[in-house]
Chain A
């Protein structure tokens, strides 16, 4: 499987993260998104006329939507990431996958504007991003009251992976995460998963590794 990838793209990171969590090896083909604009040049437009990344190639199959890639990776090797098979969980997964596309537009748009000079109405993007974070916070609170720590289930699904990157990187676009305790706990739970990998802007949880040398007086 070959992933056309940009290291700073949260959408590409969704796929890299999913592959790491499920142990699927990916061949990475780096795309010079910035400053080169390679995603909009002839070679990649031929593969994906939408001019977006990520693009996933597996033999003859070419996928251009990150949600589809998440579904593909889980169905191939780790179907538990799709939910427990019930209609309710499948629907919840779809609900949050659709929601995740709004995050790309609002939180992602704010980030591209604040960091990489892309055009946009920053006040509107941030306001929409805040509204989305509030929905996510309320959703996580309610899941918690149902005894579930993840968006669709009591274990992580592709719904969590689809939402996590843009949420974790919201501060890049000037949207702080301070007011959302449930999102903070959920984000920690994802970052503590076996096989979790970071992307630039999401740093390692150093607390997961014990202090390499304990100084006197610390205990």
Chain B
């Protein structure tokens, strides 16, 4: 089944001026992401994956090349239009969760909708509750971030990323701060979201995390060196396996 390409990138370049030297962080990157794909973007540090993610997230603009998200060419947009685009089309999940301190889980999840004046307070709350249900945190809606574990905080962050029903969820090392077990749990959650039709781009440097996705794009020195489909492993199974092993070691 041929799916619509929601992300199209053609010959993307991004250069930074460091002192008097020009650094080519991205050097002619082209690929597309179809609706419903679960893509992992891999690469060592300095490979350009963060730069790529910033451009995908409309936080940064390419020096040259074209980026079209959901039919909109990003190059021609100004700062305010980019903000609106991020607000409606993109969901971010960060390595360090980036939740507002001393703010309840539900208020954290509502945050993106606060910047959308078309959504009423009532609808905002309903959607936040639905998002928290989707990440299985219904019982902890009024907890503050410091009352939640790392995994739970990341779940709140994921709920925040899906609350505006984005066309793509961008996760930046979303399991980087978590232990193996919790990482598997979070990946299970991502797989569930994926199975419900969400498009996800997942930046990581851990190969085993990448195996839970459907496609891997590998970057080196600002260029794509590998772009292949995966035999997706089930994170839930990996979790069960891991727990069994843990029991063995304990015995």
Q: Do A and B bind each other?
A: no
